[in-house]
Amino acid sequence: MTAHLLEVEGLKTEFKRGDGSITAVAGVSFHIEKGEVLGLVGESGCGKSVTSLSIMRLLKDTPGKITGGAVRFEGTDLTKLSERDMRRTRGNDLAMIFQEPMTSLNPVLRIGLQLMEPIRLHLGYDRKQARAHAVHMLKLVGIPRAEEVVDDYPHQLSGGMRQRVMIAMAMSCHPKLLIADEPTTALDVTIQAQILDLMKRLKEEQDMGMLLITHDLGVVAELCDRVVVMYAGRVVEEASVRELFANPQHPYTKGLIQSVPKLRQKVRRLDSIKGNVPDLSQMPSGCKFAPRCQFVMDKCLAREPDLIPVAGASERKSRCWLTQEENAEGGERA
């Protein structure tokens, strides 16, 4: 049996806080195949970005630390690699697009120098070759006047152009897996559509896997093959895009989908999920979504349900007592 391109198994990440610690990622598991786009969705504070930073081993200068689980890339556990080997993997086989390009790009260095650094490091090009490759990548992501833009500073570009530069930088060494953390959040709708079309085209041309982190279900429907829904540092549902939108299983997923504005729907107020994501230092007992759930039962407050397969669905899972009851009823009918 061949290994998945990326397999995250029981990942646990904690952050030091005073004399103790809080768990930001609590036993998260999922996988990505070559050429597949997996969406990681949930509200802000659910652990999506911490999961991506843990995969990339970019928590070194933070209070965060991976304390359990494994992150296997083509069968190799990244959590066991030395920092030197991880640097070689990061940028070469693994690349990441960060949420805010203005803070991710160095404001005092020209665009070309920032693009050329990983190219020279990972591909072994000399300065002239690296500059030519940087210009080629800028053209590939649709930046006009690439030969001139390569000598510009980040502040001279629009938000959309800066995001394209970040994509060009991430794609410059032809990674096998791209992690995109909210790549269109700070962009207007027209530029969002252009960036999504660009990412889709580059993914297909290079047949790479992609982990797309977002809270925008419209983006998920546009780009993703499968979806993992996170809440309070946990996976609460996993399904194909078609299954998720057609028949969401977890009450949290249902709430997310119902809160999306719909065309031709005459309503005065948008649906919303009451309450807020829990403070990681004061997690509720039992199911972590129970305080906000309209279907809450006594058992939900007493014990947290496991993430289990959904009966009659392929590669589908849900962390909900309702799912377990429906599975049991289905088994009795069978």
Decide if 31 contacts 99 (C-beta within 8 A).
Answer: no
Helix (H, G, I), strand (E, B) or coil at 20: strand
**Measuring CA to CA, which residue among 261, 288, 260 is closest to residue 275?**
288
What is the pLDDT, as a whole number, of residue 333? 44
Domains identified in the chain and CATH numbers: 6-93+175-260 (3.40.50.300), 104-174 (no CATH)
What is the pLDDT, as a whole number, of residue 334? 42
Exposure class string for 198-223: b at 16+ Cβ within 10 A, else e: bbeebbeeeebbbbbbbbbbebbebb
pLDDT digits (tens, 9 = 90+) for 205-242: 888 999 999 888 888 998 999 999 999 999 999 999 99
Please, what sign has the CA dihedral across residues 178, 181, 182, 188? negative
CA 91, 95, 99: angle at the middle one, nearest 5? 130
What is the pLDDT, as a whole number, of residue 191? 77
Let me know how many helices (H) and strands (E) the chain has, helices first.
13, 12
Edge-first strand order for the sheet with 209-214 is: 94-97, 177-181, 209-214, 37-41, 226-231, 234-240, 317-318, 308-309
Decide if 119 contacts 131 (C-beta within 8 A).
Answer: no
User: Which residues of the chain fall below pLDDT 50?
Assistant: 332-334
| CA 301/CA 308 separation, integer angstroms | 18
Q: Which two three-digit tokens encode residue 188?
A: 């207007």
Task: At 25, give phi and psi (nearest 5°).
Answer: -130, 120
Q: Which two three-digit tokens encode residue 208?
A: 């790479």
The radius of gyration of the chain's CA atoms, rounded to the nearest angstrom, is 21
